[in-house]
Amino acid sequence: MKYGAVGDGIADDTSAFQKAWENACKGSSKTGSVHVPAGKVFLLNSLHFTGPCIPKPLLFTIDGEMIAQSDPNKWENGENGVIPWLIFDQVDGLAIVGRGMLNGQGKAWWDIHCRDHPGPMMTFSNCGNVTLKSLRFRDSAQTHVLVMGSQNVYISDIKITSPEASPNTDGIHITSSTAVSISHSDIAAGDDCVSIGDQVNSVTVSFVNCGPGHGVSIGSLGRGGTEVAVENIRVSHVNFTGTTNGARIKTWPGGTGYVRGIEFFDIRFSSVQNPIIIDQFYGCSPNCPQTSKGVHIDKVRYMKMSGTSATKVAMKLDCSGLTVPCSNLFMRDIDLSPADGIDSVSSLCSFVQGSAKGIIRPSSCL
């Protein structure tokens, strides 16, 4: 408000936010903060919060509501199309906290082809030592939170909500990043609750409620023959409710590289389609091109997983083929039963090597 913001949800407050950021980030003080006060609604166009900043950490507290333009015609355009909404770039040491709401007002975008969408609601690009805590996100035009080229990012106690039919509205997407933690959060989206892209190492997803949505997905990876490097991913204490997938790994035929060191532990499913799925023919099945290449999926552990499947095939492990089979898969204590309307459930394996211990229902095909 000190920089001229009105906060009535009608006036454009973009300039005031940019000035407040510049003062907090570039000031001479060792401590800096931006406070978005409660009881106000701030209408904002695209904002690029650029570092490096002098204060470490810089505190960005959001207690009010921040809303995007609801009319696609009023969004700013750049060289590569519509500019994303809120970008934090090259900031080391950033804490974004508060009980406020970020509303992307994305409904008008969902009827427009996704290639024209403005991209994520909030982006962390080339950032380090970031905390995102306690905020609420709603109705992004596309992905709600994007972590790219960043390290040591800690996301907790957030709530993301968008309709089941809203296209490409992933909850959180991670790419080209290391050491990312997502915990104690509720995510309802029109796409993946959490999606893990290429060049990612050391991610934990824990104590998350997912649904509706497309599950927690590693991928898709390897599109266009690209080389993949994803490892050390742990998904635990997650509840899936009514999602179209549960624990999913998806790659495109013809990709190379690896996905390895993956663990799914203590997972609950409630009427979930494809509770456990590896799909190495993503985007082309059943008419996939013949290729001897494939992303190598290795050392995947599924443990203590139970609930109901809304598809007859509850465990589908569909791997690349003889030249690049899935290897070293392990299952222990899996108990999946049919959801209402499903007579029975089964498992399906294709080009998979692994072992199982304990109770496995439906019976293991490893």
DSSP-assigned states of every residue in 33-72: EEEE-TT-EEEE--EEEE---SSSSEEEEE-SEEEE-SSG
Q: Is there a contact between 268 and 239 (Cβ–Cβ < 8 Å)?
A: yes
Sheet-wide strand order for 276-279:
47-50, 86-89, 122-125, 145-148, 172-175, 194-196, 216-221, 247-251, 276-279, 313-318, 346-350
CA atoms of 241 and 218, how far apart (whole Å):
19
Q: Which of 117, 144, 173, 214 is catalytic?
A: 214
Q: Is 48 a catalytic residue?
A: no
Exposure class string for 288-324: b at 16+ Cβ within 10 A, else e: eeeeebbbbbbbbbbbbbbbbbbbebbbbbbbbbeeb
Whether residue 52 has a cis bond before it, omega within 30° of 0: yes
Question: Rounded to the nearest 5 degrees, what angle is found at the Cα of 99, between the Cα atoms of 96 and 105?
Answer: 85
Q: Which of 92, 139, 170, 191 is catalytic?
A: 191
Q: Is there a contact between 281 and 319 (Cβ–Cβ < 8 Å)?
A: no
Q: Is 214 a catalytic residue?
A: yes
Active-site residues: which are they? Answer: 191, 214
